[in-house]
Structure 1
């Protein structure tokens, strides 16, 4: 029977879970996703990453590289619950895919490697989830690996993520002998038989009984510190009841006060069913999260997850397929039906919904409608981009879109054949539409097309996608990083008068500004949103510059930040204060004051001491102990600054901060210095001043 969301009531929304799978690359999140799909009956065969048979990694590049590149949405049913699941990328270059996914999720499972614990990208995705207030459950995967240690993983969650982890399971066996878990809430053992899906639910084995009782007591104590009812029971001297403990875990998880920690081995299908049970019991439904709040015409208006409300949805992903454009959206309120005309609230453009699809990665099932709480794909929307709000034309509302990170690496691209130039331009425009973290521009001096993104791999994937999908031969230049400029000194009382008279109405604006660094450490606003790159305020009194002209001066200053005096790079980390000004009764206008603001700040930037900033990343290198010396020497040659080093099981893990420009080609160099046994991961940390004597790359030409 076809799924028909129109039959769903508000009560049914309590059974919906909009869930994301988050992790560092290679922690096993795609395998976790595949086992969930298999267990729920959504697939009838276990997909394997190494075989290229996974459902969510369906793109040819994902299967070739063995990593998740594009966030994939799938829907499945389990134990009366509808689970809309998004498998997100783990590589730092695709962090924007994670950002857009987290914006529309109600809960998440964070997957950690039982040997490595919290890794660099684990920290990044955790902070992204914090930003959106997404409740999480932790799943410590690969418990069957040599060196697996649940307690060490829990410690790393506490120490590196500053969370309150609550281990609710005790592993049965270790490493290759890992066979199951003890559920500390129910005090029951669940064991899986090798070679099939058989699972037994039995009392805790005698050999683990004392340890299980001790850990349950620790769990009771930790929960009692956070939950009033659990504290009341704990203070009586008796154990916290199973019902109270389960209720407390649900409330602590949904509030973000604590994180329940489960464990297993997704590859061997151990621990997935308890994980699903925890998702259903502890993570929130659409009714458990606050109503969305909008702006623009509906400024301050809230809309709850109710099918009877005016339709409101947020686009979080756009992708082109051989059969047309797919627009993925989260329905926050109301009901969306096939054939409806909706409004792109930001662009003030109408769109017609041709088809509505229940998504299963690369395959889809058509449905008649979608209601509040659903995550679906629609066909027929021609122009809405990721971050757009689609809503009822009679009740417009603009939802806050996820932020888009500034690109840090660029390459010049060109078609090998001049006849393909127009096709390449069209393909690049379509690519930037699908992925807002990619940008395309034409270099004003050389006329070359420059493609910018979040890293080498990001750009490699983008170029390869064009080659495969369009059959184009493309030439690609050497990667170049995106530099910034910032002020490192101050200038006070800079005066600029803008006077223009060429017949008719003239232009007059008089401004006085002070300029100073926004960040005293000179970091220039480490890679966050625009609000942290520039600050503007006015101290003008007595109405000498009207309020509307003050806004125009600020807009002009922002215009001036596009190109700095050192090398034409964008300027960041600037604080501007408008201290005085004057107007003309007839010739002053917003245009005149915007022009004055632009030229005043440009003049100030030529006067004040400036510094060049370069993007820096935290590099975590894992290498054999006997190769650590070579690794450290190579990092030093790349202007790296070592910040930490640990040793475990014959290998060393070195953490260093390195300029991004120095890491091009590092993968092959590391393999050579470690005989192929070294690996590394990176995490963006922002910008830092280029030291005196360093020779940064020039902008791409």
Structure 2
């Protein structure tokens, strides 16, 4: 085994080099801010695809690459996260597209556990919206660097300085614009690079399916072409300089400031500049802390954590795929890993890289990469896989559900399909499945963050498992953890019911509402009830 002058083996040196080339990031936003469109535009600018799509496109514009589920394409929203691997400028970009709708925020939370940086996407007219704030709180809790992209500048919107002020005042993140728009929102002319002073004038391509035509002008020529719009932009840039709103790498990495870029994803304006910022500023993978709070360096033997489960991506094969973020070491297809939960070996003969719904076999992977393990029936969200010294990473917690229904098979003759489908959707984390001896296995309680999750369950149970279901709402809105000693008393109280979560056997008490919960806490102070995560922050 060869060793370099620092004492590192050849493989350790290779792993460190490859990890430094990786950028693993997620795009977060409020619904309709243009997140999936931006994902598509980034893929286009990196030459990963040749033509951008839109969910509700015209002509030959197809559905976006990352929205692969039939229900996503029908409704025009992202329901499940998607992994896209892009090679660009001698870098490997692992882009994780996430659902924007609040009802699917638990899936987004899992994705944020697998990335090193987030792109916060803002609508130029709406600014910071509730779901954006909620997801930013998750990033803040993880001290994750955030790059801000102000989208839809080709449509009427707010003043750029007003948007910057909102970012700083509402979330305490100091904005440091890297470029500045010439022309007000709705009259987008181009972008000034604040560091070089160069101006890039942009011309939209027909339909926005191709890269925007860019022309670089020096300041004198830009002033001749853009007239008053150029003058206004220069005055605003001078103000930014006076305020000291310049990029600072240290505060960015600490999650205290955010580089800001402007653009329009649908028109492919400013997307190339964002791509360059990701490559140049987003952090490479670093040591991940295990459950003992000890860091595992990227050069050490392979380890990774399952952050997502997905079944039936390929309609021709009833497969179950585990998405694993590589945390350390070199992965080689075919290696036999150890499943930390069971201690049993796990073979990796079938391993793939995923680009939306498209797949390709992957032979090697390095820290920061996302690999998809096929036929992973033994794995669940949060599980650790490793080679060499044992490591277990902290579990990925579930959110506090706020909506509850009882599910029953419409056709009693398809009970086996019903059981198999409910178990699969529980394992994927589509919903949380709760059971009790009183209700029985034939009538499980489905618990969700938002009611749209139940629509997904009904759609998939009918289309994938051929077992249509009926759901009946339950009059509960609060869930708390409890223990075996408190459970019998709580179960006997009015407006409360204790069930067991199938995925981890944890006892949950469901309560009608927060007012009833307060009464129970007042009248029974000795009973143990603990809050769960609510939207990525502790509910308590």
* TM-score, length-scaled by structure 2: 0.83
Instruction: For residue 29 of structure 1, report the CA deviation from its aligned partner.
Output: 0.7
Contact in 2 for aligned 1:407/1:439 (Cα 8 Å): no
Q: Residues of 1 paired with 2:67 and 2:413: CA distance?
A: 34
The structure with the largest strand share of the pair is 1
Query: RMSD of the alignment, in Å?
Result: 3.1
Contact in 1 for aligned 2:66/2:357 (Cα 8 Å): yes
2:308 is the counterpart of 1:304: no
Following superposition of structure 1 onto structure 2, how do residues 110-509 of structure 1 map, counting pairs within 5 Å?
Answer: 110-195=120-205, 197-204=212-219, 205-206=222-223, 207=227, 210-223=231-244, 248-286=247-285, 289=286, 291-295=287-291, 299-306=292-299, 309-321=300-312, 322=314, 323=317, 324-392=319-387, 394-435=388-429, 437-442=431-436, 444-445=438-439, 448-478=443-473, 480-483=475-478
2:116 is the counterpart of 1:106: yes
User: Residues 414-459 of structure 1, C-alpha deviation per residue, up to 9 Å, x if partnerless?
Assistant: 2222111121111000010011642242561576332221121111
Following superposition of structure 1 onto structure 2, how do residues 19-58 of structure 1 map, counting pairs within 5 Å?
Answer: 19-51=25-57, 53-58=63-68
Contact in 1 for aligned 2:119/2:147 (Cα 8 Å): yes
- Which of the numbers 70, 77, 88 marks the counterpart of 1:78? 88
Instruction: For residue 180 of structure 1, report the CA deviation from its aligned partner.
Output: 1.5
2:101 is the counterpart of 1:91: yes
Contact in 2 for aligned 1:565/1:606 (Cα 8 Å): no
Higher RCO (CA 8 Å, separation ≥ 6 residues): 2
Partner of 2:507: none
Instruction: Provide closer, same or farther for how the CA distance between residues 562 and 60 of structure 1 changes in structure 2, counting only shifts above 3 A.
Output: farther
Q: Residues of 2 paired with 1:433 and 1:58: CA distance?
A: 20
- Which of the numbers 480, 496, 507 marks the counterpart of 1:568? 496
Contact in 1 for aligned 2:320/2:374 (Cα 8 Å): yes
Question: What is the number of equivalent residue pairs in this alignment?
Answer: 486
Q: Residues of 1 paired with 2:405 and 2:64: CA distance?
A: 32
SS at match of 2:162: helix
Instruction: Provide closer, same or farther for how the CA distance between residues 445 and 74 of structure 1 changes in structure 2, counting only shifts above 3 A.
Output: closer
Instruction: Provide closer, same or farther for how the CA distance between residues 175 and 345 of structure 1 changes in structure 2, counting only shifts above 3 A.
Output: same
Q: Residues of 1 paired with 2:259 and 2:492: CA distance?
A: 49
Contact in 2 for aligned 1:166/1:222 (Cα 8 Å): no
SS at match of 2:26: strand
SS at match of 1:481: coil
Q: Residues of 2 paired with 1:152 and 1:64: CA distance?
A: 36
User: Residues 461-486 of structure 1, C-alpha deviation per residue, up to 9 Å, x if partnerless?
Assistant: 1111111112223222235433458x
Q: Residues of 1 paired with 2:333 and 2:521: CA distance?
A: 55
Contact in 2 for aligned 1:352/1:380 (Cα 8 Å): no
Instruction: Provide closer, same or farther for how the CA distance between residues 560 and 442 of structure 1 changes in structure 2, counting only shifts above 3 A.
Output: closer
Q: Residues of 1 paired with 2:405 and 2:158: CA distance?
A: 41
Instruction: Provide closer, same or farther for how the CA distance between residues 400 and 687 of structure 1 changes in structure 2, counting only shifts above 3 A.
Output: closer
Q: Residues of 1 paired with 2:522 and 2:99: CA distance?
A: 42
Contact in 1 for aligned 2:183/2:189 (Cα 8 Å): yes
User: Residues 92-117 of structure 1, C-alpha deviation per residue, up to 9 Å, x if partnerless?
Assistant: 11111111111110111110000000
SS at match of 1:67: coil
Instruction: For residue 561 of structure 1, report the CA deviation from its aligned partner.
Output: 8.1
Q: Residues of 2 paired with 1:401 and 1:610: CA distance?
A: 28
Instruction: For residue 609 of structure 1, report the CA deviation from its aligned partner.
Output: 7.6
SS at match of 1:461: helix
In structure 2, stretches of 5+ residues that fail to align are 1-10, 207-211, 500-519
Q: Residues of 1 paired with 2:109 and 2:31: CA distance?
A: 16
Instruction: For residue 251 of structure 1, report the CA deviation from its aligned partner.
Output: 3.2
Instruction: For residue 11 of structure 1, report the CA deviation from its aligned partner.
Output: 2.3
SS at match of 1:262: strand
* TM-score, length-scaled by structure 1: 0.64
Q: Residues of 1 paired with 2:284 and 2:54: CA distance?
A: 30
Instruction: Provide closer, same or farther for how the CA distance between residues 89 and 191 of structure 1 changes in structure 2, counting only shifts above 3 A.
Output: same
SS at match of 1:358: strand
Q: Residues of 2 paired with 1:193 and 1:63: CA distance?
A: 29
Q: Residues of 2 paired with 1:217 and 1:302: CA distance?
A: 44
Q: Residues of 2 paired with 1:561 and 1:282: CA distance?
A: 55
Bigger shift: residues 450-459 or 16-25? 450-459
User: Residues 372-427 of structure 1, C-alpha deviation per residue, up to 9 Å, x if partnerless?
Assistant: 221111224331101101111x4111101221112221112222221111211110
Q: Residues of 2 paired with 1:314 and 1:157: CA distance?
A: 33
